[in-house]
Structure 1
Amino acid sequence: MTDLCTTNALRLIQVAEDFRAGLSGEFSAVHGISVNEFLLLLHLERATANRLSRVDLAKRMHVSASTITRMAAPMEKIGLVGREVDDRDARLVFVVATSMGREKLSQSLATFSKRASYLFSDRWEDEELEKFSEMLRCMIGGTGDTLA
């Protein structure tokens, strides 16, 4: 466990889990959505044509297509997402954010940004934060990142 790569990877996981846990309570209490629902809406917003098939959404979120189906169903019932059938192939159905879903994303993105600012601003100078950002870009460079 003294391997620096192992230590740093464990630290990244710990920070990510702590950040997610802090967001979870605030998202639920203030916005009525989970962190995963926020991420689903964010993926839709950042996708070409603002829509994704359940399979593509699952790949981007690193979950199974059935998990996306279980996530999207209640979101559809409360009006955050809808379905859009492909014009050329009726078997292909896309998940799309509704206007209510886009508004919910906008509101929760403000909360996310505020939390992110708290995470970094009291610990890091601007130069350090920019260097860290470069290192993270390097780490995710080959992953096809679509969120940042």
Structure 2
Amino acid sequence: MTARDSEVWDGIVTLHGRVEHELARAVQRRHGIGLSEYRALCRLAVAEDGELRMQELADLIGLNQSSVSRLVARLEAAGLTRRAHCPKDRRGVYTVITEEGRAVQEKASPTYHETLHEALGAAAEDRDLGPLVAVLRT
């Protein structure tokens, strides 16, 4: 790894942290759900039959198995998802988005996209992060 690689990576980490903070704050404040919950609902909303195996969901949103289990438990408690067992393999557990979960995801989506655009726009004005945002937007 070169010094330049390290600088680029540090910029990515900084940009990611700033954007994630803004997204999490907006989604929580306006819709009462966490960013991971929102992302899980998004993945489930576009999945075939609105369902994913727990491990698939974990991989798609970047969580480990334990974290995704806790996340799904919160979504279930809120009525946004439900669990289902694989008909071919009763050990296989799926999480399935509910109609209420779809409604929450659809309502939160404009907030997410607006906040993402604003956060990237603010970062684009930053002397250090602006060039990185420009590359990412091309």
TM-score using structure 1 length:
0.76
RMSD: 2.5
How far residue 84 of structure 1 moved from its aligned partner, in angstroms, is 2.0
Higher RCO (CA 8 Å, separation ≥ 6 residues): 2
What pairs with 1:39-78 in structure 2 (closer than 5 Å)?
A: 39-78=39-78
Cα-to-partner distance string for 1:121-143 (whole Å, 9 max, x where unaligned): 5648xxxx786345xxxxxxxxx
The structure-2 alpha-carbon separation of the partners of 1:131 and 1:18, relative to structure 1 and needing over 3 Å to count, comes to closer
Deviations 1:14-65 (A, max 9, x none): 1111111112222112101001111111221233332111112122223221
Q: Which runs of 5+ in 2 are unaligned?
A: 126-132
Distance 1:131 1:25, change over 3 A: closer
What is the rounded CA distance, in whole Å, between the counterparts of 2:37 and 2:116 in structure 1?
Answer: 18
The answer to whether structure 1 residue 3 and structure 2 residue 7 are counterparts is: no
Contact 2:84 2:95 in 1 (8 A): yes
Task: Calculate percent identity across the aligned residue pairs.
Answer: 22
Partner of 1:132 in structure 2?
136
Q: How many residues align?
A: 131
**Whole-Å separation in 1 of the counterparts to 2:47 and 2:4:** 36
Aligned to 2:19: 19
